[in-house]
Chain A
């Protein structure tokens, strides 16, 4: 029975199917808000599903001379790791006292898997532009991971040194969300910018800069493999704001989570539409010097209980 429940959770409810469907819907919200910012009409609501279906049924080309196994397996990293994250987030939010060990460090590693998949896929496709995209993705990953980890350390400090997800949520339910303090606001800003970079949305869409290197690591992908990348990205767009809400804004087990979630999504899309792209060295400086110092200030403030 237990195995059936685990499989149900992984494949259907908070896992693969649910996350995928909601994530694709959120990419429609992203495109529609972008279109309204441009003063356009924008695509109809079924657009991401039509794109996904079309990609699934199209021919998949494997470029000559590429590493076949790695090329085909790399898109699965994101699609496989994100449902695990969904199951952990949902079970920890709706049942924070359970004995299930929802460890923050495991979640940080799960969030590292999609960029690794992109790097492997870009390097395996034997294309110069894909190689450039993969190396930029790697640099960007190292850039945003430092402030992201410091922000998570801030949250751990505020939760009284616990790295268990359930205890972080319980601490927020007892004393109010961490967001309502100076160090909490700083951690939220840092995590929000890191989400922007993890999704590679516009100020940080350096790895796939359409105008310079076409689609970067995705350039050789077609058909099912491209659909898997799109699905992984859509799942991340659903799960990363939920991750932010449950770490800093008191969890998402009540109805207030829906306006909070939509607010974060629209904020991400507006940042995307009102900023020009940075160069990779500018992004590194921004994350290591600007945001890095800000996140360390947040950590120090959290140490003094502010």
Chain B
């Protein structure tokens, strides 16, 4: 049973894109990996519109006071088991917004993040590599 569950999760991770107030560069790179050139549907990765259908959350952007409750509520709405993948340097730490009054700090203070993909923005190859590493960790 456990093996079947793991196989299913590894072969069809459906992705929900949580844009938590990023500058949009990471979002554009995420859209890139869905284009015919990189075609992640080869690995069964599909972008879904509702967090209820998702197995992995792609979070982008630096976490601030406005987006924090939204990110936590999206994480709670996602059926478990689910992966959280932080795309971009902003998700690793507070990046260049460290001294801002509005920034509440890195993601893993609030939700468990499985893998970080640094880069501002990361290349599509780097995002695919990060997702592969996240799936290997399962």
Contact with A along B5-16 (1 / 0, CB 8 A): 101110110100
Is the pair B41, A31 in contact by a Cβ cutoff of 8 Å? Answer: yes
Contact with B along A47-65 (1 / 0, CB 8 A): 1001101111111110000
Given contacts A59-B79, A226-B53, contact A51 B41 (CB under 8 A): no
Residues in A whose Cβ lies below 8 Å from that of B1: 57
Is the pair B77, A214 in contact by a Cβ cutoff of 8 Å? Answer: no
Chain A proximity of B102: nearest CB distance (Å): 29
* B69 CB-CB contact with A under 8 Å: no
The interface on chain B, measured as residues whose beta carbon lies within 8 A of the other chain's beta carbons, has a size of 24
CA distance A55 to B8 in the complex (A): 8
Contact of B12 among A47, A61, A220, A226 (CB under 8 A): A47
Interface of chain A residues 183 through 242 with chain B (CB within 8 A): 210, 214-215, 218-223, 226
Query: Which of B8, B14, B55 has its CB near the most chain A CB atoms (within 10 A)?
Result: B8
Residue in B closest to A31 when the chains form the complex, CB atoms: B41
Contact of B5 among A42, A47, A54, A210 (CB under 8 A): A54
CA distance A226 to B46 in the complex (A): 15
* A109 CB-CB contact with B under 8 Å: no
Residue in B closest to A54 when the chains form the complex, CB atoms: B8
Q: Which residues of chain A have a CB within 8 Å of any CB of chain B?
A: 31, 35, 38-44, 46-47, 50-51, 53-61, 210, 214-215, 218-223, 226
6 contacts between A and B (CB under 8 A): A40-B41, A44-B42, A54-B55, A58-B80, A220-B50, A221-B53
Known: A47-B11, A53-B5, A59-B79. 14 other contacts (CB 8 A): A41-B39, A42-B41, A42-B42, A43-B42, A50-B11, A51-B8, A53-B4, A55-B8, A58-B79, A58-B81, A215-B49, A215-B53, A221-B52, A221-B53
